[in-house]
Chain A
């Protein structure tokens, strides 16, 4: 699905990623590990096309890529519903929204403006997006941060659900997760 050859990236002449080589197959879940500042987020940004002045090759068979970054891309002044429906990544049916909101226990806050929500709830909103969207490749930067145990299980299930549909997932996390088929350490 995606193949990385001799990928290097430097910030102000300081090498952040050096000569990376790896491959991601369909239906594979990869856990990206590494210390703080080892370039995990940067690698995900390169794979998603946000950063493009790297050296080496990134070959991809799909352009259908979902990115979840450190900053969630949500608008404080919009309601939960608008934030989900007007998100650039939303590519599902509008009807499926309330189902998903119930699953994530956000249904009562559908019309609430986002600035009334806690950090954890915001995270959940962006994870509803992850749950709903249909993509070939999911790049998730710290999807488990700021979540309680129940939320973590929800995400693990969501990731499995996408895997069963044939999508690949790359995520970063500091904890161990038994859903991953492979670990990649930077």
Chain B
């Protein structure tokens, strides 16, 4: 177990694994997403209250879920980096943050597209939307930190500090936004709605699974690129590319 972990955090080993598994993982994720979304769009029943529009949840919910999960995994990576100085953890954070931002934006965008016909507005300052917006800002802020330092180690550490504090803060922000919301707004709009039907749930779960696979695949690819950037002068990188030729 320990050995496996040590191997996974070594750059050359990870690079090789990612190189081999990326095409399969990527293809599989596309297939699973297609399965989930197509099933959801063409074969699941129409929502009684919302009509056909609701079908965007097959994109919206997975995106929102992925957007949050990425942040939590980044928090774990930041702790790992701050305590054990494992470089792979910082590679992970730096590779995943842009993905997190993209998926958070996607969640907000699909939410707006969903909200317009359903509730007649693109945007409400509802607790969940507000904290998702803050999550997006947090991701962008972290990304803006990438180029602020001359030293790579400094960037890594700064990013971990900010990710960690943001991680501690995120639940607090969510809670306070909820309190703020209950005080400011009489609950006219609720996003949760009625409990979800099984026939909708299964394609949704498939779609969520597909999104996670996709993020894993793309994340691995991005990590490979980041590793190459850092290790460009190392022998193992040269060996790989000379072998290729």
A and B touch in the complex (CB under 8 A): yes
- Residues of A near any B CB (own CB < 8 A): 11-13, 53
CA A11 to CA B154, docked complex, whole Å? 11
Can you give 6 A-B contacts (C-beta < 8 A)? A11-B151, A12-B150, A12-B151, A12-B152, A13-B233, A53-B153
User: Which secondary structure dominates where chain A touches chain B?
Assistant: loop
Q: Which residues of B contact A11 (CB under 8 A)?
A: 151
Which B residues fall within an 8 A CB radius of A?
Answer: 150-153, 233
The 4 A-B pairs at the shortest CB distance, nearest first, are namely A12-B151, A12-B152, A13-B233, A11-B151
Secondary structure of the B contact surface, majority rule? loop
The docked-state distance in angstroms from the alpha carbon of A80 to that of B153 is 38
With CB as the reference atom, state the residue of chain A lying closest to B234. Answer: A13
Q: Hey, which chain A residues are within 8 Å of B152, CB to CB? A: 12
Closest residue of chain B to A13 (Cβ to Cβ) is B233
* Chain A residue with Cβ nearest B152: A12
Q: How far is the CA of A53 from the CA of B156 in the complex (A)?
A: 15
- The chain B residue with its CB closest to the CB of A14 is B233
Shortest Cβ distance from residue B92 to the other chain A in the assembled complex, whole angstroms: 20
CB-CB nearest in chain A for B85: A53
Chain B residue at smallest Cβ distance from A11: B151
CA distance A22 to B151 in the complex (A): 28
Of all chain A residues, which has the CB nearest B230? A13
Tell me, in angstroms, the Cα distance from A75 to B216 when the chains sit together: 52
Name the A residues within 8 Å of B151 (CB-CB).
11-12
Within the assembled complex, what's the spacing in Å between the Cα atoms of A53 and B151? 13
When distances are taken between beta carbons in the complex, the residues of chain B under 8 Å from A13 are 233
Once the chains are docked, how many angstroms separate the CA of A53 from the CA of B85? 12
Closest to B233 in A: A13
| Assembly CA distance A16 to B151 (angstroms) | 14
Closest CB in chain A relative to B58 CB, distance in Å = 46
A11 and B151 alpha carbons, distance in the complex (Å):
8
CB distance from A12 to the nearest CB of B (A): 6
Query: Considering the chains assembled together, what is the distance between the CA atoms of A11 and B152 in angstroms?
Result: 9
Minimum C-beta distance from B133 to chain A (A): 36
A13 to B152, CA, bound (A): 9
Assembled-state Cα–Cα distance A164/B153 (Å): 43
Chain B residues with CB under 8 A of A12: 150-152
Q: Which residue of B lies closest to A53 (CB)?
A: B153
> Least Cβ distance of A51 to chain B in Å?
12
Output the least CB separation between A97 and chain B (Å).
39
Distance to closest chain B CB from A16 (angstroms): 12
CB distance from B157 to the nearest CB of A (A): 11
In the bound complex, residues from chain A placing their C-beta under 8 Å from that of B150 are 12
